[in-house]
Structure 1
Amino acid sequence: MKGYRKYFGKKIVWFLITFLIAVLLNFILPRLMPGDPVAVITAKSAKGISDTSAVKQIYETYAKQFGIDKPMYVQFFTYIKNAFTGDFGLSFSQYPREVSNIISNAIWWTIGLQLPAIVVGWLLGNILGALAAYIRKGFDKVLMPVSLFVSSLPAFGLAVILLVVFAIKLNIAPISGGYGYDMIPNFSWNFIKSVVSHYQLPFWSIVAINIGGQAIGMRSMSIYELNADYVKYSRFLGIKDSKIVGYVFRNAMLPQVTGLALSLGTMVGGALVAEIIFSYPGLGTTMLQAITMSDYPLLSATTLIITLMVLFATFAIDIIYGFIDPRVKAAQFD
């Protein structure tokens, strides 16, 4: 138990240090962006007003409302205090909407798209990679070139290909959006059918990209493990091949599990390409809008979510490794 406490203690300390640095950068970097978003809101509100003092008063009112009239360190502690309660302030680009309201509406679209696509792509890729390593022959000769080709395609490239082929040429899928533009979100059958039809292209573009990389990684690790000394020795002792293969693929899966955890952790940021190409109403598109509009309350909130997801995913996989990887277990007691 002492070895485990030492191992987990180090992980927790590094997690907290990384988290504090990430939060600090998450606050500072968006505020270094050029432009004055408050001036843009003021210009819209003061349209037609020629009185300079009145315009200045409007600007000061907005600056006070957003809290940017205070020193940077005061803004930082206010940001930390509010973040713990889920209050990220008002959005500059979608004023007077609250940032938390924008994110709560967008994040479920992203999770609903990314989570199933990543898991399906991971499962299919690892199954195909394991079969290619174990069966070899014609299966491997077909799978590897296809996997290499698909994994080498940039995410936006594959998305555009699917868009052109299935939406424009064959006209069997919608071009953009999360549902029909003439519809209001509700629980009717027509709305659900529209959501499912708009879901297909972005979903399969993410799945296809994940399959290629996972298949290549699993094939390489499986071949390495199949040629390891413990496999040769086990076969020499007469242990059944089915039992050996179980250990082989368990060991080969360890790096793949890490990849899955990191993919899940970064799925909000990874949604950006698919959402932009297909105009999908998720958090990736929201983050892009925040960048282009210098909306740093919204940008800080989205990047903070990504940071937390990556940190928790990395921390979780480190903890899981401590229990399932014999090499980590051995190192704990050195």
Structure 2
Amino acid sequence: MFNNCLDGLLVLDLSQYIPGPFATMTLGDLGAEVIKIEPPFGDPMRHAFMEGEDGISPLYKQLNGGKKVVKLDLKTQEGKEALRQLVKKADVLLESFRPGVMGRLGFDPATLKDLNPTLVHCALSGYGQTGPYAQTAGHDMTYVALTGALSQTGHADSGPVPIFPPLADHSGAMQAVNSILAALFRRERTGLGAFIDVSLFEAALSWNYLSLTPAAHGQVDKCGQGELTGGGAAWYAIYETKDNRHFAFAPIEPKFWQNFCTAIGREDLLARHMEPQPQTDLIQTLRDLFKAKTLSEWSEILLPADCCMEPIHRPDEVLNHPHVEERQIAFGHEIRYPAWVDGLPPVERQPMVECEITDLLSDQ
């Protein structure tokens, strides 16, 4: 079973909102025990975006499934002492405070190392622990704006649009998980703990190599006009149908373009596949063509043609898609760990459990 890979590991989660909880949820999916430590007023994510029947956001429950959740006031001596006891037993501590806050609470990296020399401490922040932006507030969209990715994402006529799902939040979470697992692997060989400084901005920046590398060579595309941003190539774009639905169209390779042209009986388009970009005229030709039929009609023609076409599904349609059901990843209320191992699907997460600190200390 893949969900027991990290059995016996204790993770302390002092993070809020999306990035840190997503990272520790992933560690929990791999078998770690996760204790989420929240301030007395709780994680604001409890009431974010939507409200459940019990007043708690289902998104908060998704991010914290399988965790033990406790409220602890780290500004009090009792709260500090309780955290010290937990740190001594923990393998990993992940926190998402602004740089310097952990130190002011009495838990700077040196103090944590003294308490537990083998601890893997991951500080997950917006811009990192050092540098002129270290204390700058931000959210996903502002982090991605600084990476240059937003300048490419959008439409030539109306400009940039936000990226969804949040790119920096989730790339940062995965960078934290990767770094923590690497540090744990090193600890197995050396016995050494680690202090890891992960920046949401830098995680997203590293994913933007597709525009940063060309920029270093003097090539910068306009918003929405690159090969992979929808306005440069007719063969990698989103098109609208007669019934005002949309589909993604990506016959990049010649064989897929040929399959497309054959399926619609337009062999005259074969030679236009690699016209110079931006392929403005060809894009308009396809726009006019695709507006002549409904999404259902185009799906009947193009899905069997093996030409890299897929309808743009609404979230409620995704949950009922036969492939999603077969793969056992999404079950409406829960999106599970996205991998099968040894022929077995991901397992269901246990619900989060609200705990008292006295119960947790006695368990340890």
TM-score (normalizing by structure 1): 0.22
More helix by share: 1
Task: Tell me the TM-score normalised to structure 2 length.
Answer: 0.20
Name the one with the larger strand percent.
2
Higher relative contact order (CA 8 A, sep 6+): 1
